Amino acid sequence: MREKWARLIALFTGLIVLLLAMVFALIQNPHTTSKAQKNEQQISSDIVKKSVNPDSIQIEEGRKIYQEQNCSACHSIAGKGNPRTPLDGVGTRRTAEELRNWIIGSDSLQGLLPDSIRRLKQRYKELSDNELDALVNYLNN
């Protein structure tokens, strides 16, 4: 009789260990397949954007202006630059006109930005319209 109970206890212990292992695996890896699918979708959408996007030259121009104007002293993109004010995804939160106003420190931002920062940004009013458009396109992508 003891052997029968010992086998049952061993069987139930094994099942409990297996069940706990599965639960912990699900907790640690909640959506493994959906993450892989998202990565595949992101890669395919990036390929489509790169092949279809006629503004890629202007975006590259905007990236150069961002570097030339040393925007990374105050801002960061993709973890590069000053992390205090990241610009990642700013194009999804602001319209092109709003981005332009933020870049040049427009008077419409009075009260939203400290005056000292707004005055610093106003030096970017010297950029040409094409340069501002390129910078806005860069921030939108």
- Domains parsed from the chain with CATH numbers: 56-140 (1.10.760.10)
pLDDT in tens, 81-92: 999 999 999 989
122 with 105: CB under 8 angstroms?
A: yes
Which residue type, as a one-letter code, is found at position 45?
Answer: S
Confidence label for 134 from pLDDT (cuts 50, 70 and 90): very high
Percent of the chain with pLDDT over 70: 82
Residue with tokens 């960061």: 76
Q: How many CB atoms lie within 10 A of CB 63?
A: 17
| pLDDT of res. 141 | 82
| pLDDT of res. 51 | 46
| pLDDT of res. 58 | 87
pTM score above 0.75: no
